Chain A
Amino acid sequence: MSKLKQAPEVNAGSMADIAFLLLIFFLVTASIETDVGLNRILPRESTDPFVEIKARNLLEIGINAKNQLMVEGDILPLEELRTKVVSFIDNGGLQTNDKDFCGYCKGERLAHLSEHPDQAIISITTSRDSDYAYYVSVQNEIIGAYNLLRNRESSRLYGIAYETLVQNYGEDIGPTEKMAIKGKIEAIRAMFPQKIIEPEVIHQ
């Protein structure tokens, strides 16, 4: 009679099968998707497309159908684009006594490159047949150049890299702290604003 007192053990052998079924269901319906990318702001559709820009303040980048890169009339390997863009933005070519003189620029202050990071405009023209992958690489290098400069100034002013600031901003922090970081980010962005225009594609 003592046998009746013991509750019969539930057979857990099929539990694994159930769990496997669930697992397979998730494997089938889910996919490891990337959700990273290059953030860009497209230029506003302008009603007045004629704005006077000094030639020295414009860096013209062209990509042709054979995926070659042309910067200011010369063919340039992609590897050198980043340094080229940095030297263009960071040039600070105005005279020391000018009111818009760029005090934080560390460039070579050449006469044919930009006057001030605020004035520096980068234009990308692509042929209809250029590869999207190549275009992304070019965008990547330009953003890389801006990040490099922003990191430099951010480290100098606040002792922390710009990218770390942006990362910290996204985290869970108090509102006062958030405001402080926001102020810093905006200050750095104002020093090196991204001005990238993309004129209409050249039809071939």
Chain B
Amino acid sequence: MAKFAKKKDGDLPAVSTASLPDIVFMLLFFFMTVTTMKDSSLLVQNTLPNASEVKKLEKKDRVIYIYVGKPTREYQSVYGTEPKIQLNDKFADVNEVGTYILAERAKKPQELQNVLTTALKVDKDANMGLISDIKQKLRQVNALKVNYTTYEGDAFNNLQ
């Protein structure tokens, strides 16, 4: 009886890959929403300290970033291991902070110029001397709103 034709063995049905793009797109959208674009590549090590009483920095267009930390390994042979300041895409001296802030402020629209915040992204191993110098410069150009950018966490973890 040919009615019960014997199936050829080894002929597994192919797994449908039609939904694979959907899955990958889902991943893609997840990453697009949770991440932010890098606006400048980091030349310094930037492990931020922890703090618990944090506020979110809203409205990215109102923020000026200053990075401080030891130069990353590839720059250490040139710039040494002392903490340095990074403004935009290059290393800078403390004395350049004031002009940098003024230049950045001038780039922003008029109505935002009075509400700018300076975000200090400082590596946890930096020492206070450099930070106080920066703060002094910020006061001189009247950029008084600062944000010490941190990770959200227990502040006592900083002590180790």
Residues of B within 8 A of A (CB): 17-18, 20-21, 24-25, 27-28, 31-32, 34-38, 48-58, 60, 117, 119, 122-129, 131-132, 135-136, 138-140, 142-152, 155-156, 158-159
Given the known interface contacts A26-B31, A31-B38, A39-B55, the answer about A132 and B128 at a Cβ–Cβ threshold of 8 Å is: yes
Q: In A7-36, which residues have CB < 8 Å from any B CB?
A: 12-13, 15-16, 18-20, 22-23, 26-27, 29-36
Complex Cα–Cα for A50 and B156 (A): 35
- Indicate the size class of the contact surface on chain A: 35 or more
Closest 9 CB pairs of A and B: A128-B129, A30-B35, A133-B124, A19-B24, A37-B149, A133-B158, A15-B21, A133-B49, A36-B54
Complex Cα–Cα for A102 and B21 (A): 65
Given the known interface contacts A45-B140, A143-B53, the answer about A133 and B125 at a Cβ–Cβ threshold of 8 Å is: yes
Complex Cα–Cα for A128 and B136 (A): 13
How many A-B contacts are there with CB distance less than 8 Å? 180
Q: A16 to B20, Cβ gap below 8 A?
A: yes
Complex Cα–Cα for A25 and B23 (A): 17
12 contacts between A and B (CB under 8 A): A19-B24, A20-B24, A23-B28, A29-B38, A30-B32, A35-B119, A37-B57, A37-B149, A40-B147, A42-B144, A42-B145, A133-B158
Contact of A34 among B28, B60, B149 (CB under 8 A): B149
Given the known interface contacts A133-B124, A137-B51, the answer about A36 and B21 at a Cβ–Cβ threshold of 8 Å is: no
Contacts of A45 in B (CB 8 A): 139-140, 142
Complex Cα–Cα for A18 and B24 (A): 9
Contacts of B20 in A (CB 8 A): 15-16
Complex Cα–Cα for A200 and B132 (A): 8
Contact of A129 among B49, B124, B127, B142 (CB under 8 A): B127
Given the known interface contacts A78-B156, A127-B128, A137-B156, the answer about A39 and B151 at a Cβ–Cβ threshold of 8 Å is: no
Complex Cα–Cα for A54 and B20 (A): 71
Given the known interface contacts A43-B139, A45-B140, the answer about A36 and B132 at a Cβ–Cβ threshold of 8 Å is: no
Given the known interface contacts A30-B37, A32-B34, A137-B159, the answer about A37 and B150 at a Cβ–Cβ threshold of 8 Å is: yes
Q: A147 to B148, Cβ gap below 8 A?
A: no
Q: B128 to A128, Cβ gap below 8 A?
A: yes
Q: A38 to B128, Cβ gap below 8 A?
A: no
